[in-house]
Amino acid sequence: APIALDEGAWLLPGWAAAEAGRWIEGVRQVVAQAPWRVMHTPGGKSMSVGITNCGPWGWVSDASGYAYTATDPLSGQPWPALPEWFWTQARAAAAAAGYPGFAPDACLINRYAPGAKMSLHRDQDETDRRAPIVSVSLGLPATFLWGGLARTDRARRMQLAHGDVLVWGGATRLAYHGIHPLKDGVHSLLGSERWNLTFRMARAQY
């Protein structure tokens, strides 16, 4: 059953765990076409996570800023297709959290090795902020940090485990959030890695 985290934000504990193999296989397919890469912030710092995308739109960051692009800048080709399994599962997770009709057109995939982190930020590059974001965590657990709508709001912390799904929409869709540096460990399916998929409606209307 979904657990309310904040206004409009829900945790579906372990929701993706039973079919983790299908999720992992999907990511491996994507990575075969669009390999993990390091992106740089507009400020010039390299991000510590490996990143790739699938679906009609992919999120990229470089010296000129953040953007959604239809093609992978590494290959010049369209981003790999969103596996049908991803689409139907992300849609079902959103519906389970009270957001029927979620139709993701972008899936950003992050890979964390021990020490990798994501600094406090907001996801505001999507055109229609009424759509939620669906996040699927796989592999090693991580400490998720989320604050309020102002950067200075006190941040809460929570463990995200293998198979956990977060659905973030509604009033706190633009909340600040991040991931603490990943602790070393070994996961039976992903070894010393954590993968996170975030499904978005980047351009589509919700």
| Chain residues that interact with ligand MD3, rule: CB under 6 A | 108, 110, 118, 123, 133, 135, 146, 166, 168, 173, 175, 177, 179, 196, 198
List the interface residues with Fe ion, window 28-67 (CB under 5 A).
none
At 83, list the tokens.
Answer: 């596996």
Nearer to Fe ion, 126 or 193 (CB): 126
Q: Which of 53, 58, 82, 123 binds Fe ion (CB under 5 A)?
A: 123
Residue 72, interface with Fe ion (CB under 5 A)?
no
Q: Which does 108 bind (CB under 5 to 8 A by kind): ligand MD3, Fe ion, none?
A: ligand MD3
Q: Least distance (Å) from Fe ion to the CB of residue 21?
A: 26
Nearest position to ligand MD3, beta carbon: 196
Residue 126, interface with Fe ion (CB under 5 A)?
no
Geometric angle at alpha carbon 119, from 114 and 125, rounded to 5°: 120
Question: In Å, how far from its chain's centre is CA 119?
Answer: 14
Q: Which does 89 bind (CB under 5 to 8 A by kind): ligand MD3, Fe ion, none?
A: none
* List of residues contacting Fe ion (CB under 5 A): 123
